Amino acid sequence: MSLENDIEALRERISDTQTLYREVCGLMFFRYGETPTANKLYQLVRKGSMSAPAKALRDFWDEMREKSRVDVGQPDLPAEVAAAAGALAAQLWRLSLRAADDSLAELRVDAQAAVDAAQLQVREAGVRVESAEAAQREANVRSDELRLQLGALESQLAEQRATNAELREQLAAARSEASTAATALCDTRRDFSLELEKLRESLAQNEQRLVAAERRALLEIETERSSASRARAELQRANDHIRGLETAHQKERDTLRDDLAGTKTRLAASSTRCSELEEGLRLRDEELDRALATAVDLRRRLEFLSVKLDTGRAPTHPTTKAPRRRNRAARPFILSTKFSMMSLQRKR
């Protein structure tokens, strides 16, 4: 027990102020080896005025002097013997007090050593607490940095998603354009085949008419020589008409060939653009996979630091159930991203 606890116990048992101060004086002097003073008594007891501890202190010292004085009052002893006996008793009292003081000094040295050891342990504990607090602050700073990096990566991931969506739209538009161009090429080929068939039919009809005209001309030559010149002129006109038809057919055929070549060129450009877009989309998908892997790694590191920080704060070791729940919460995001990439590859 400490001096304050003993004084509180005396307060509960003693109600008189002077008696309480005298008991506190005896407690301080005999049990704790301290010299009582009026100021210290008043600071410890806090009762009455300042004259109360002063009066109690004077009464205490008077009582101590009375107890330390030895009076051998035997009427049958001579005065010298009584004086010698009193001196001997006083000497014994002083020796006993000195021995008690020496023992008290040793106890004080031992108590001071124990107090110094306790203070050293307190300082070491304070150093350990400061180091733990510094580690905790460092972990908090690192956690904040990782949260900032995670936010930046999530922003980049959102931008890449938007870019990939735009590239997918461009790829779909290019594919639609290529499909339209292929359809137009098929239509052009079909029209060209129809026109060529019509020209062939026209040439066959012209040849048939020419053969008939020649036959009629031969018959007319045999029958009417006078109409030979008209037949030759008609034949010449027929030949000119045929050459005109052939020239027109040649021009139409060259025009169709030029259109076909232009259509093929546009189709090749569209195919090249489609390949470039597919390559860019593949590169974006690879970057997206790397960004996802980096984000998952940073989340795992952040959860590890959070668990480590919680372990430094809590008195017992935490379990690993909370990180598993966070990993399960992060799986749907990764699975949905992989599913979208697989769907895109199937569409390709």
d(CA 289, CA 341) in angstroms, rounded, equals 10
Q: What angle (nearest 5°) sits at the alpha carbon of residue 141, between those of residues 139 and 147?
A: 100
The pLDDT value recorded for residue 326 is 45
pLDDT at 100: 60
pTM of the model: 0.25
274, 174 Cβ separation under 8 angstroms:
yes
CA pair distance 287, 142, nearest whole angstrom: 26
Give start and end residues of each alpha helix (H) in the chain: 3-13, 17-26, 38-45, 51-68, 79-223, 228-313, 321-347
How far apart CA 93 and CA 181 sit, in angstroms, is 128
Quick: pLDDT tens for 301-312: 888 888 888 786
CB 318 within 8 A of CB 310: yes
Return the pLDDT at 321. 43
Spans of all domains in the chain:
3-117, 131-347
The confidence score (pLDDT) of residue 113 equals 78
Q: Is 208 exposed, middle or buried (0-12, 13-18, 19+ CB in 10 A)?
A: exposed
Angle between helices 17-26 and 51-68 (to 10 degrees): 50
Question: Residue 77's Cα: distance from chain center in Å?
Answer: 100
Phi, psi of 313 (to 5 degrees): -85, -40
pLDDT in tens, the chain (348 residues): 678 888 888 888 888 888 889 898 888 888 888 888 888 888 888 888 888 888 888 888 888 877 765 554 444 556 676 667 667 767 776 776 677 667 667 756 776 776 688 778 878 888 888 888 888 888 888 888 888 888 888 888 888 888 888 888 888 888 888 788 788 888 888 887 888 888 888 888 888 888 888 888 788 878 877 776 887 888 888 888 888 888 887 888 888 888 888 888 988 888 898 888 888 888 988 888 888 899 888 888 888 888 888 786 654 444 444 444 444 444 444 445 544 545 545 545
pLDDT digits (tens, 9 = 90+) for 267-301: 888 889 888 888 888 898 888 888 889 988 888 88
Question: What pLDDT does residue 86 have?
Answer: 66
Sign of CA dihedral 195, 198, 204, 205: negative
**311: CB partners within 8 A, 6+ apart:** 317, 318
Encoded amino acid at 156, one letter? Q
Between CA 200 and CA 208, with CA 204 as vertex, the angle to 5 degrees is 170
Q: What is the pLDDT of residue 316?
A: 46
Please report, rounded to a whole number, the percentage of residues in the chain having pLDDT higher than 90.
Answer: 1
What is the Cα–Cα distance from 147 to 295, expressed in whole angstroms? 11
| Residue whose structure tokens are 């952040």 | 302
Under 8 Å between Cβ of 3 and 28: yes
